[in-house]
């Protein structure tokens, strides 16, 4: 195991905090109730329709109600995912403006709700160079970070098409372009890392991945895991999530991830295909793997 350097987080011994991405159908507070019914410690949700640009402003009183209920249900941290349509790397001026506006709006909504982390995909370069695209992403992030609100987490991608952020080096470069702002971190999606070609389903592969993460980004910036199996093989660059242990990563892969001392204590959100029966199975599986790790 590699030693903890100055950018590495301390080795933790507490259990991971497991949760799901929960639907907001019926209202934002309903997402909290769904999370508790699934025996979650934490949750992720959208604050609005993720497939559209329009949204209804949030009433200020909702923030108090939402946060109070989250505290009653002992759900923490609270994580929001950006909608699907924004592309912070877009070379199209209109789409870029709408994307930046969407990020700024989401920061305000997260602040009102008392959200801890806002997860965003980095974006797609389209027909322009990746360096130019990353500059646009950095510009958008700098504007958003001028606002009060949550820590922004850049999510690694599977590398489909012109997606940015499949390599840890690109995530690190974007963070450097934002001058290493302390309110900027990363969310590592296990399926995306595997699909991008990182063999994190093996103990050795996971160790190499974390060493690279520490070098390029800093383990201290790793704030969240998206715990997903992959329906597509290693290096496929095709983003398809699957149930824990049922995909190409396998249960042994998740045993290594869940038991790794540098990942202990992190929130771990599952974004597996929605199914009431499979949600229950997925939670049972990660809890069992957590208990087998010997930390609790």
User: Which are the catalytic amino acids?
Assistant: 51, 81, 84, 121, 155, 189, 192, 226, 239, 241, 271
Q: Which of 57, 76, 67 is nearest to 29 (CA)?
A: 67
3-state DSSP call for residue 18?
strand
Q: Which of 163, 287, 154, 295 is nearest to 237 (CA)?
A: 163
3-state DSSP call for residue 92?
coil
User: 186, 153 in Cβ contact below 8 A?
Assistant: yes
3-state DSSP call for residue 119?
strand
The angle subtended at Cα 285 by Cα 27 and Cα 225, nearest 5°, is: 60
What residues are paired with 152 via a beta bridge?
Answer: 118, 184
CA distance 88 to 125: 9
User: 156, 168 in Cβ contact below 8 A?
Assistant: yes
Strand ranges (E), the chain:
17-21, 42-45, 78-81, 117-121, 151-155, 184-189, 222-226, 229-230, 241-242, 267-270
**Which alpha helices (DSSP H) does 165-218 contain, by range?**
168-177, 190-195, 203-216
Strand ranges (E), 46-109:
78-81
CA 94 to chain CA centroid, Å, is: 27
């Amino acid at each position: 195991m590699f030693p903890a350097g100055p950018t590495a987080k301390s080795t933790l011994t507490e259990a991971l905090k497991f949760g799901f991405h929960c639907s907001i159908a019926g209202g934002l507070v309903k997402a909290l109730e769904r999370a508790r019914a699934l025996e979650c410690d934490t949750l992720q949700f959208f604050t609005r329709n993720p497939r559209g640009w329009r949204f209804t402003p949030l009433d200020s009183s909702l923030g108090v109600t939402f946060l109070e209920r989250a505290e009653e249900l002992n759900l923490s941290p609270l994580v929001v995912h950006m909608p699907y349509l924004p592309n912070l790397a877009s070379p199209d001026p209109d789409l870029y403006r709408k994307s930046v506006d969407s990020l700024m709006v989401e920061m305000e909504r997260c602040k009102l709700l008392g959200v801890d982390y806002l997860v965003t995909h980095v974006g797609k370069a389209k027909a322009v160079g990746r360096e130019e695209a990353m500059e646009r992403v950095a510009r958008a992030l700098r504007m958003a970070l001028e606002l009060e609100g949550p820590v922004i987490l850049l999510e690694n991608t599977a590398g489909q098409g012109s997606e940015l952020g499949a390599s840890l080096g690109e995530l690190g470069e974007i963070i450097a372009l934002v001058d290493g702002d302390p309110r900027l971190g990363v969310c590592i999606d296990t399926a995306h890392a595997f699909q991008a070609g990182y063999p994190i389903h093996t103990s050795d592969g996971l160790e190499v991945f974390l060493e690279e993460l520490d070098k390029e980004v800093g383990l201290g910036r790793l704030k969240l895991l998206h715990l997903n199996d992959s329906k597509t093989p290693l290096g496929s660059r095709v983003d398809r999530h699957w149930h824990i242990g049922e995909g190409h990563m396998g249960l042994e892969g998740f045993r290594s991830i869940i038991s790794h001392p540098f990942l202990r204590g992190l929130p771990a959100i599952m974004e597996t295909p929605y199914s009431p029966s499979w949600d229950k199975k997925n939670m049972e599986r990660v809890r069992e793997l957590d208990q087998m790790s010997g930390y609790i």
